[in-house]
Structure 1
Amino acid sequence: MTNKMRVAVIDDHPLYRSGVVYTLESQPDIEVIAQGTSASDALHVASALSPDVLILDVNVPGGGPSCLTQLTTHCPMVKVLILGKTGEGAEVCDALRNGASGYILKGTSPDELVQAVRGLGRGEGYVSPALAAKLLAQSGPSQPSSEMQDRLIHLSGREAQILSILGSGLSNREIGDKLDLSEKTIKHYVTGILQKLKVRNRVEAAILASEHVPQQPTLHS
């Protein structure tokens, strides 16, 4: 199969890393092009090989959070999927706001790992649905700042509706099925939402919306 998704895996636990690599290599559309055990490995692999997706243990030796910041700055085209142990709300939100495109727990199933990697490869963010729901419940709506009001007011009715759905963890295709729109159309709307809200990925947009949108918007044209 040509045009496989190129993935790198950075984790200092050999047994776990081997399981991740085995799971990904068993997929016909994914190729693991590099492995590593430290933050310095992650930075070297990202700059030298530019994988489509880099899977990074948040506790990797050398500092996962600081490594993420450097990856975002110096290798912005590489999509980073963070592997975490606890899924603490602050840790997840910090990772997403610092440039990660996704966050999953190390105990996730092989199927969800593959789904997350494919989502990032398509340009979508990913947080496990259960974890996303937990974050949205914890954050709760608050009074939006004037700056946020200015951003939200520029969303069309359809964009506001799609924004309210993003936190459920649905893919573009699933959102399209829900709203009777094509996957391509949903992707176009999501791109516009990210630009108008000035956020990097769909999960960050969903968290932001949960903090500032008190209820699901009613659709208008």
Structure 2
Amino acid sequence: MVRKIPGKSKDFQEGSALPKINDNGVTVYSMRFCPYAERVRLMLNTKHVPYEVINIDLKSKPEWFLERNPLGKVPAIEEPGKKPLFESLVVAEYIDEQFKGNREVLPSDPYEKARQKVIAQNITTPFYGVLFKNESGDAILKGLEDVEKMLTSEYFAGSSQGFVDLMVWPWFERLASLADARPGALQIDFSCYPKIKLWMERKLNDPDVKDTAYSQETFTTFLKARWRGNRTRTLVFDSTEDLAQGF
């Protein structure tokens, strides 16, 4: 069975013992609230690939993790007999190709595949400053206007969910929490973005998305603590994509 991330799962820190590694499948090195790590868990859940999660405290990385993955990056996946792979988009694409399952998420056409990757990158750009630098929410509101124009079908990939929809979802999942965590600084009227609103409703009704997500309340609590500078072990979050270092 696909493993759902426990809400209070342990974060492994410097000095911790090496946990048991899955010898028969996929191990995911993750961080609970990281949108990049969620991309990988979403892909695994969508493909119905069994996996185990090891959460890493990226402010105090275990020695055994750095031995296996010298750059110390999450998300990363490890399979028996193979070195860990990291970088969320790279890992997600690998999962889609390695585990065929009942469906392939990325299109086979090279142009369409590249197009979806470009869209995924462009859509998530406005979120960086707000999530990682506590900047004004104006960039998100402007970004939502642009995204509304880009959404020309039920999904960004077309009539059915595709790679781009999975890769951008973690940021949209956090929109309500971003608004809750900063009252007055970010006010989102979804009636201004009807296509995005319907797309989000479709996503929220997706069982694989549900199995990957945290509640809005959990995200809000985390974001408030992060922006207050809370450095407790349970709330520290450091995304390891380049722009998100130090989150």
TM-score range, shorter chain: under 0.3
Alignment TM-score, normalising by the size of structure 2: 0.25
Task: Give the helix-richer structure, 1 or 2.
Answer: 1
Q: Which has the higher contact order (CA 8 A, sep 6+)?
A: 2
